[in-house]
Amino acid sequence: MDLIMVAVAAATVLVIGLGVYASWLFVQLRKQASRAQTAQVQLEAELQEKNLEARRSIQIIARALLQKDLSDTEAAMRIAYLSQQVNATELEIEQITVFLQLAEATAHIPILDDWQMLEKSEKRRLNKERSDIELVYGEFIRAGAEQLINIRLD
């Protein structure tokens, strides 16, 4: 009988111990889930802020283009880059498309240090080529810029 009582007591202690351990694991799992949910909410907020920031930047570039502070090609290159970082609306996509097309049409023209390394004759030739390409897209670029600056970013 004593052996049965010892076995029952040992089993009871084991079950209680396992129950406490299971409870502790449950609490840890809940904490982890809560931290994961908080991190997800924070990540979504950060992504939303970056999206809004990129969309604002596109509008700033469009304004600079209309004020003739940027060339069509430079604005197109910048907007094309920023467009990869936004969750654009259908209206924005429609307006950004022409900027992407101009950026693609002029992508072969060197920029920055590569431009500086070109000879003057090559620079003149490429400037003429860029100007000709901009003439083709100019009206559409300006219309797109006008539309982009008028889009509400709420």
- Convert the pLDDT of each residue in 89-126 to its tens digit: 898 999 999 999 999 999 999 988 999 999 999 999 99
- Predicted structure pTM score: 0.78
- Which residues, including other chains, have CB under 8 Å from residue 45's CB and lie 6 or more apart? none
Q: Where residue 138 falls among pLDDT bands split at 50, 70, 90?
A: very high
Distance, in Å, from the CA atom of 93 to the CA atom of 101, rounded to the nearest integer, reads 12
Distance, in Å, from the CA atom of 39 to the CA atom of 34, rounded to the nearest integer, reads 9
Angle, vertex CA 17, rays to CA 14 and CA 23, nearest 5: 140
Question: 74, 55 in Cβ contact below 8 A?
Answer: no
| Percent of the chain at pLDDT exceeding 70 | 100
Q: What is the mean pLDDT of residues 70-85?
A: 95
pLDDT at residue 1 above 80? no
The residue extents of the domains of the chain are 2-149
Residue 4 structure tokens: 């049965």
User: Would you call 139 exposed, middle or buried from its count of C-beta atoms within 10 A (0-12, 13-18, 19+)?
Assistant: exposed
